[in-house]
Structure 1
């Protein structure tokens, strides 16, 4: 079941990080980015946070399950949507625990076409 854009908007509103928290649609679900780092996913209208020591330390009570078939278990942070300061701290510390995103390679210029005369 694909997630609804309205749920993603609700998550962003609850977290309260403004333009620092962005999302990208992927295969009917969404990746959440904080300052360019993937910190979680919205899958089946649930909020999954990347498993890091921050998640274990700040929210050890969160249930674990895979966000999509074949994935490892991620903490499910739905219950923290009612506690924005805790969720915000969790996402900040998750981002801090992750390496910076790899720079994207520049696109190669298109190859010239051979003219047909």
Structure 2
């Protein structure tokens, strides 16, 4: 099952005014805050990446893999999704503790001699 685009739009709207965007990935979506991958949107559910910030916001019982074989993420329960201020704070704090994205180096087009 894939995520409905309307669900993605709802999550983005709920997270305003944070610097967030969603990017289609493998039939689902990655959620970026401050250009850092902080969450996944899969099967119309929001799953936040585990980080040092999670201890203040999430419960261990929320940890589930977004798809078979994946590392677990914190699936946000419906009851917490309604708390916009809490959700914005959790997403922003997660972005704050994640390392900055390292740009990939471009390979030289020159062939070795």
Please classify the TM superposition score into its range, dividing by the shorter chain length. 0.7 to 0.9
Bigger drift between 55-64 and 22-31 goes to: 55-64
Aligned to 1:23: 22
| Post-superposition CA distance 1:77-112 (Å, at most 9, x none) | 14322001000000111001100001133476699x
Aligned residues between the structures: 110
Counterpart contact for 1:62–1:77, Cα < 8 Å: no
How large is the RMSD of aligned CA atoms in angstroms? 2.0
Q: Does 1:82 align with 2:82?
A: yes
Pairs within 5 Å for 1:8-87: 8-17=8-17, 20-60=19-59, 63-79=62-78, 80-87=80-87
- TM-score, length-normalised on structure 1? 0.83
Larger Rg: 1
Unaligned residue ranges in structure 2 (runs of 5+)? none
Q: Which runs of 4+ in 1 moved over 6 A?
A: none
Unaligned runs of 5+ residues in structure 1 are: 112-117
